[in-house]
Homo-oligomer: A and B are copies of this chain.
Amino acid sequence: MKKKCIKWIFGAGAHGRITLDVWRSASPDAEFHFIDDNPRMHGKIIDGVPVDGGIQFLLDHFTPADEAVVAIGYNNVRLLLGQRLENRSLILGNAIHGSAVVMASARIGGGTMIFAQAVINTGANVGKHVIINAGAVVEHDSVIEDGALLGSGVSTGGRVTIGEGTFIGAGTTLAPRIKVGQGSVVGAGSVVVKDLPPRVLAYGVPAQVVREVDKSFDWSRLL
Contacts and interface: CB of A to CB of B under 8 A. Distances in A.
Given A157-B170, A157-B188, 20 more contacts: A25-B104, A47-B105, A99-B101, A116-B137, A117-B119, A133-B137, A133-B139, A134-B139, A135-B135, A152-B157, A153-B155, A157-B169, A170-B175, A170-B176, A171-B173, A174-B188, A188-B193, A189-B191, A189-B193, A204-B205
Interface string A165-189: 0000111111110000000000111
A20 B151 CA distance: 28
B101 A176 contact: no
Interface in A1-57: 14, 17-18, 20-21, 24-25, 47
A122 B116 CA distance: 10
Interface of A: 14, 17-18, 20-21, 24-25, 47, 97, 99, 101, 103-105, 115-117, 119, 121-123, 133-135, 137, 139-141, 151-159, 169-176, 187-191, 193, 204-206, 221-223
A27 B168 CA distance: 35
8 contacts: A14-B123, A14-B159, A18-B122, A116-B121, A121-B152, A151-B155, A158-B223, A189-B190
Nearest to A24: B104
